[in-house]
Structure 1
Amino acid sequence: MLENSLFYPKKLRPDMTPAYFPILKAKDAEFKALSEAKDIVKKTMIPLFDIPKFNPELKRYQGSPHPKATFLDELSVAIKDVWSSMPLMFDSYHWQTPGDRTETGEHHLSYLYESLKSNGLNPIPVIGYDRWDDEEYRAGLKTITGSHTGLVCLRLDRYAFDDANDPEYLKERVNEIVDELGITPSNCHVILDFQDLSTSTLVGVMEDFDTLFPLLLSFKFATYSIAGCSLPRETANKPRNLVLEPAFAFAV
């Protein structure tokens, strides 16, 4: 069982209890599942909430002067209702465009970060390797990391696995992210996100890992986790299903 191979690095939680890092969409089904989880289970988790794409056509946002901001505030409250003050990660992988701003002029990620903080939550910002080239996205992250004092997370997806075939390029890009955002590697968690594994082989996954992971060791990041979802896409997209991407953590 996956649970038997998990542990919580001291950097993330000092009691060293087993760790589980579900990557889940910030939607009603996932909120309902978390609301029914026992406290002893929640203590073993740090979830990553993937903010869904904003739909301006929804009736409740018609006529609103700040529909995006309202949407993000609603998500912040929904997360607060199920997750209290425990650490959580948040990302907007599915958002319209990486640099998109709310009607207030703030970047959507920095707006959500402040909303989560104002609701008494303990948010961990996630930096998407795949979106780093977007200037507005970088600016939004700088706004967050300029005042954030806790753990940060670097999410390496398929773009990073592909770039690992050019080791110097990948290391230069990661180094640019670290330098530009003023990240202290010893305070940074890294997710190796394999994403859709439904058509992947175990041999292929291990080869991808063995290509990328050694390139990261010189940075001396605090901890790492591996994530992936093996459910077929046609199954994962059914609205009644709660689809989690499990992840385990390890330190080196």
Structure 2
Amino acid sequence: MISRDKYAPILKGKYGEFTALSKLDDEIKQNIIPIVDLLQFVPQVVKDPKKKEKTFDDYVNTIIKYFSDKWDKERLIYIDCYMTDDEGLLENGIHPAKHLINNLIEKEFNVLPVFNNVVSLEYKQSIKELTEKIGKGTGLRIYDITVERINNEIEESLSFLNLAPNQIDLIIDLRSLIDSDTQNKIEFVTDIFDNLRYLSRWRSVVLAGGNFPIDLTDLAPNEVHALERKAWSVWNGLINTAELERIPAFSDYAISHPKMSEFESDYPNASASIRYTHKENFYVYRGRGTRQRGFEQFYDISETLINSPHFYSIEHCKGCEFIYECGNDKTSTGNLMKWRWVGTAHHITVVVNQLRQFFRDLSA
């Protein structure tokens, strides 16, 4: 269950994001229910003839190890494998979602699958079988929706799963909001909630979305860019303007785009940039490509951030602590994976604290 006062970050199943989860303070972990998206497998070119090329099976087993190393078994976490739907079966003949979740269940992780409305029949059947095996319901993620279609999608999913609404955590995913007008999207979501079937009967209701760019190529280097946190704006707008029968839990994609960037690989020429969440905006402190200019750029970028009004404090979270040490002590530049966990851990901490304050004010 994802109660309305909990934050449900949708995170990519990558090392940086899992490390971010492991770096959170316990009081922050207690207030989040993560949803992990297993990414499409991208084969890497192996130049060393002595090294074996990694297979999709290797990739799935790596994700299992991330869970074992980075997440507490007793804490609830959801897994959605829709991006792997085109990969086919593993070498053992099992669907990757079933293999991954079965392994985690055997290791006694508190994990639930997510049923998705845009996947193959084979994938849906795998999730149904997992749901029946676990016996604790499932997440139901609906996107690519219109007000007219959402109830049809819901009825079809309930019928396939043979579950009642009180066994399901409904996740309404708006996906990327980059090109959306915030006010128009608030009105759209209000219309959805005014017409949503079984609103009071779902075990949980979650509203998700994100608007971080898929990459930073459109942002000029050596500048600080402010990007509205549209998912946060839409959720707040819905809560503050609509007469809701039920307040949905908040979810977003942290500092990532919903899709996997075509530039993502083990060795991208990403810029030395810090993605830093603030009250209403993301601030992107963007440098230049790390291949040409190196990681030493992070020293000056971090120093600029810690001397800006955007910086919270060294005590805010482990991410802010690393930023402060990088900009002040200049002992380590980190690498791209480290900066992903730094930004993600900071973002999660910001959102949890914002939700705490919101519900304190609501009950005052």
Shared fold, TM over 0.5 = yes
SS of the residue 2:84 aligns to? coil
- 2:211 corresponds to 1:222: no
Query: Residues 44 and 148 (structure 1 numbering): CA distance in 2 closer, same or farther, change over 3 Å?
Result: same
Equivalent in the alignment of 2:161: 181
Letter in 1 for 2:116: G
Query: Residues 192 and 173 (structure 1 numbering): CA distance in 2 closer, same or farther, change over 3 Å?
Result: closer
Which of 136, 139, 143 pairs up with 2:122? 136
Work out the CA distance in 1 between the residues paired with 2:189 and 2:96: 32
Work out the CA distance in 2 between the residues paired with 1:72 and 1:28: 13
- Quick one: higher RCO (CA 8 Å, sep 6+), 1 or 2? 1
- 2:59 corresponds to 1:79: no
Conservation of the 8 A alpha-carbon contact between 2:18 and 2:71: no
Write out per-residue CA displacement over residues 168-187 of structure 1, whole angstroms, 9 at most, x where no aligned residue.
xx423321211211223102
Equivalent in the alignment of 1:197: 177
| Structure 2: segments with no counterpart, 5+ residues | 217-255, 262-269, 271-335, 360-364
- 2:136 corresponds to 1:147: no
SS of the residue 1:218 aligns to? coil
Equivalent in the alignment of 1:171: 151
Q: How does 1:32-181 map to 2 (within 5 A)?
A: 32-57=19-44, 59=46, 62=53, 67-85=55-73, 86-95=75-84, 97=86, 100-131=88-119, 134-157=120-143, 159-160=144-145, 162=146, 164=147, 166-167=148-149, 170-181=150-161
- Percent identity reads 22
Letter in 1 for 2:112: I
Question: In angstroms, what is the RMSD of aligned CA positions?
Answer: 2.7
Work out the CA distance in 1 between the residues paired with 2:52 and 2:104: 21
Equivalent in the alignment of 2:300: none
SS of the residue 1:55 aligns to? coil
Equivalent in the alignment of 2:250: none
Equivalent in the alignment of 1:28: 15
Which of 171, 183, 189 pairs up with 1:209? 189
Write out per-residue CA displacement over residues 185-214 of structure 1, whole angstroms, 9 at most, x where no aligned residue.
102111111121122122221122123233
Which is greater in Rg? 2
SS of the residue 1:94 aligns to? helix
Letter in 1 for 2:180: S
Conservation of the 8 A alpha-carbon contact between 2:165 and 2:198: no
Query: Residues 102 and 61 (structure 1 numbering): CA distance in 2 closer, same or farther, change over 3 Å?
Result: farther
Q: Which runs of 4+ in 1 moved over 6 A?
A: 244-248
Count how many residue pairs are aligned between Structure 1 and Structure 2: 224
Cα deviation for residue 94 of structure 1 reads 2.5
Cα deviation for residue 58 of structure 1 reads 5.5
